[in-house]
Amino acid sequence: MIALELEEEERQLVLLALAVLSLESPGFDHALNEIAKKIDNVEKVRREYGTQEDRAQTFDQFREARRFHPHRVCNHPIHKLGGDNGFDDT
């Protein structure tokens, strides 16, 4: 185990980076949430089918803020495709 000492601003920046990465790579959300829970407040969140999950509170708030950010630019390759057929024909 590695002990790490962070200032509050650094802690929030790490959580923001994890949140952005989880939006760009949804398959890693569970693993990134597990990391975020180590440096964030944890809350029980009711999920589909009535299950509950421990989620990192600030991490999820950053995810929600980024998801609907008006100037969010996604650089993921799948979102760069153009044209009706999914390929850029220019």
pLDDT digits (tens, 9 = 90+) for 41-87: 888 877 666 667 789 999 998 988 887 765 555 555 554 444 444 44
State the pLDDT at residue 64. 87
Does residue 76 belong to any structural domain of this protein? yes
State the pLDDT at residue 72. 54
Does residue 17 belong to any structural domain of this protein? yes
Residue 86's alpha-carbon distances to 73, 78, 79, 82, 89, in angstroms, are 18, 9, 9, 5, 9
Task: Quote the domain boundaries for residue 57.
Answer: 8-80
Does residue 36 belong to any structural domain of this protein? yes
Does residue 60 belong to any structural domain of this protein? yes
Does residue 2 belong to any structural domain of this protein? no
Does residue 18 belong to any structural domain of this protein? yes
Domains held by the chain: number: 1
State the pLDDT at residue 74. 55
Does residue 1 belong to any structural domain of this protein? no
Question: Within 10 A of 32 (CB to CB), how many other CB atoms are there?
Answer: 22
Does residue 33 belong to any structural domain of this protein? yes
